[in-house]
């Protein structure tokens, strides 16, 4: 199914507890992917743990925003 076919304006409530995996990518970056417990399909993704220096703040924010946007696409949300 195309991405357009998955896009929906219908609001659905996120399940509070979802199975997830964490992948340590090195250099302090961890990718966390959670799965829909009913379908087993990937549901959302988070890119976290980059660092603690002040210079890392813009990168941390960019990683957070990327994760949110990727998750919305995975969930079929267009906003």
Residue 59 backbone class (left: φ over 0; alpha: ψ -120 to 50; beta: rest): alpha
- Give the model confidence (pLDDT) of 49-77 as tens digits: 765 666 667 777 888 888 888 888 888 88
Q: Record the tokens describing residue 62, joined without a space.
A: 């960019």
Confidence of residue 78 (pLDDT cuts 50, 70, 90): low
pLDDT exceeds 80 at position 1: no
- Cα angle value 5/22/75 (rounded, 5°): 15
Q: What is the distance between the alpha carbons of residues 67 and 32, in angstroms, rounded to a whole number?
A: 9
Q: Record the tokens describing residue 38, joined without a space.
A: 């009913």
Helices marked H in 2-76 — which ranges? 3-6, 57-74
Contact 32, 20 (CB under 8 A): yes
For the chain, the domains span: 18-74
pLDDT recorded at residue 55? 67
- Give the model confidence (pLDDT) of 5-31 as tens digits: 544 445 456 667 789 989 888 877 888
């Amino acid at each position: 199914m195309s991405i357009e076919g998955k896009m929906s304006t219908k609001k659905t409530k996120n399940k509070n507890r979802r199975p997830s995996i964490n992948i340590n990518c090195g250099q302090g970056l961890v990718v966390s992917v959670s799965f829909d417990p009913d379908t087993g399909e990937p549901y959302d993704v988070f890119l976290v743990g980059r660092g603690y220096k002040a210079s890392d703040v813009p990168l941390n924010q960019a990683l957070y925003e990327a994760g949110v946007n990727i998750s919305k696409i995975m969930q079929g949300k267009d906003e």
